Amino acid sequence: MGDLLDKHIVLGISGGIACYKSADLVRRLIEQGATVDVVMTDSACKFVTPVTFQALSGRPVYTDLWDNRAPNNMVHINLTRQADLVLIAPATANLMAKLAQGLADDLLTTLCLASTKPLMIAPAMNREMWQAPSTQRNVSQLRTDGVQILGPGTGEQACGETGDGRMLEPHELVAAVRAHFQPKTMKGLSVLLTAGPTCEPIDPVRVITNRSSGKTGYALAQAAHEAGAQVTLVSGPTGLPCPPGVTRISVQTAQQMHQAVMQHASTSDIFIAVAAVADWRVANASTEKLKKTDGQPPKLEFAINPDILKDVAGMANGPWCVGFAAETTLDPEQAQAKRQRKAVPLLIANLAQQVMDADHTTIHLVDDTGMTAMGTGHKLDIARKLMSEIYKRYRQHQA
């Protein structure tokens, strides 16, 4: 079961075409273990029928303020009393205007007014409606009132236009809900990470690179964000979406990664180097595509790339540093030697052939007391465990 076990969510659905995505959202929330009570406005019922949401949630769907199924006839009070969170997705411009004004003219707006539970809304509307001064005023009023605004995303819209106003995708909304329920132990801290491979050009069409999917680094970035930290992820090329709430800086080469990290290191509290950085770059890279003219392979010359982790660890007043080592054999002495060479208090060692490209990982912690196994699991689960271990050690170091 997922992260939302025992969590009770009231999902409000207002009338926009993005309603069809809310069906998938319900399914995903339930997959994570949540109990979902769906409340729909009249307009939402014109897009998708309550039957769809009843079938997906396995619970009655509420559409009417005067619903008399509850013995006390106060469905607008009962629903949020049991809830841990109210999520409205999609939230139309009209619904946001009503919430900002405290209007209560249907079940959804009335229960929001009567609720003391956290409220998240996922706006969805045409880009002109989103940019309208009145909508922007309402957004800022809602933020001031403590409402968490999720998105909106940018892209092609149902109206045929392109711009801001798309509802975030269901998986992004679920990520935000999961993040909401994680303990915010790292609030106020700034975490900098590297992830993925670097690509060192041989010529404009060829590169030398390291094998790395970036999954572990991205999972750690997500875990740090969920724990309330401000997260900057300097990433080499990966096919992964940026975890919601994380600032990603995309780079290609080790030198670019080094430069981006150095720009942010002095303002970071913790630095976690997960990237598989290419140790060498091609010193005589060609600006033109190399041709197989005489059947001879090109003679490549190499230069040594900067050691990003070592440079950050060597900074006066730099962040607290964590390194990674993916090895083909796990030798505690070699791992310890690498940790000392990098001058970091903590090194995370794993077996490259076991973890590369995989969704699961097995990690070992290497510190000045030796090497200890931390277990096997899905990369996000292990990342969360590891992030709380990193935070614990960071706090001890600060004390």
Catalytic site residues?
Answer: 159
- Residue 324 near ligand CTP by CB under 6 A: yes
Contacts of residue 14, defined as CB under 8 A and 6 or more positions apart, other chains included, come to 41, 43, 44, 88, 90, 91, 92, 94, 95, 108
- Residue 308 near ligand CTP by CB under 6 A: yes
In the complex, minimum distance from the CB of residue 260 to ligand CTP, in angstroms, rounded to a whole number: 12
CA distance 158 to 80: 32
Which H/E stretch holds residue 13? strand 8-13
- Residue 307 near ligand CTP by CB under 6 A: yes
Burial tier of 354 (Cβ tally within 10 Å: 0-12, 13-18, 19+): middle
Is the CB of 15 or the CB of 217 nearer to ligand CTP?
217
Candidate ranges 55-63, 177-185, 225-233, 318-326; the one touching ligand CTP (CB under 6 A): 318-326
- Residue 277 near ligand CTP by CB under 6 A: yes
In the complex, minimum distance from the CB of residue 226 to ligand CTP, in angstroms, rounded to a whole number: 22
Q: What is the CA radius of gyration of the chain?
A: 25
Taking CA atoms, 59 is separated from 11, 52, 82, 98, in Å, by: 12, 11, 14, 27
Closest CA to 39 of 18, 60, 17, 8: 60
- Residue 108 near ligand CTP by CB under 6 A: no
Give the interface size with ligand CTP as a residue count (CB under 6 A).
14
Candidate ranges 48-56, 107-115, 242-250, 321-329; the one touching ligand CTP (CB under 6 A): 321-329
Q: Site for ligand CTP (CB under 6 A): which residue of 279, 367, 381, 389?
A: 279
Candidate ranges 126-134, 199-207, 317-325, 388-396; the one touching ligand CTP (CB under 6 A): 317-325
Is the CB of 110 or the CB of 209 nearer to ligand CTP?
209
Binding map of ligand CTP across residues 342-361, x = CB under 6 A, - = no contact: x-------------------
Q: Which two tokens stand for residue 163?
A: 């711009």
- Residue 330 near ligand CTP by CB under 6 A: no
In the complex, minimum distance from the CB of residue 170 to ligand CTP, in angstroms, rounded to a whole number: 33
- Residue 192 near ligand CTP by CB under 6 A: no
Q: Site for ligand CTP (CB under 6 A): which residue of 323, 364, 383, 384?
A: 323
DSSP assignment of 376-392 equals EEEHHHHHHHHHHHHHH
- Residue 325 near ligand CTP by CB under 6 A: yes
CA distance 346 to 367: 5
Which residue shows structure tokens 């080592």?
325
Q: Site for ligand CTP (CB under 6 A): which residue of 4, 121, 254, 346?
A: 254
In the complex, minimum distance from the CB of residue 136 to ligand CTP, in angstroms, rounded to a whole number: 42
Burial tier of 18 (Cβ tally within 10 Å: 0-12, 13-18, 19+): buried
In the complex, minimum distance from the CB of residue 310 to ligand CTP, in angstroms, rounded to a whole number: 7
- Residue 91 near ligand CTP by CB under 6 A: no
- Residue 217 near ligand CTP by CB under 6 A: no
Candidate ranges 117-125, 127-135, 322-330, 362-370; the one touching ligand CTP (CB under 6 A): 322-330
Burial tier of 93 (Cβ tally within 10 Å: 0-12, 13-18, 19+): buried
Is the CB of 173 or the CB of 274 nearer to ligand CTP?
274
Closest CA to 363 of 251, 219, 206, 263: 219
Strands (E), 45-147: 85-91, 119-123
Strands (E), 139-257: 148-149, 153-156, 162-166, 190-195, 199-203, 206-209, 230-235, 247-250
Q: Site for ligand CTP (CB under 6 A): which residue of 92, 138, 305, 350?
A: 305
The one-character DSSP state at 62 is B
- Residue 234 near ligand CTP by CB under 6 A: no
Which residue shows structure tokens 């096919």?
239
In the complex, minimum distance from the CB of residue 282 to ligand CTP, in angstroms, rounded to a whole number: 15
- Interface residues toward ligand CTP, by CB under 6 A: 194, 254, 273, 275, 277, 279, 305, 307-309, 323-325, 342
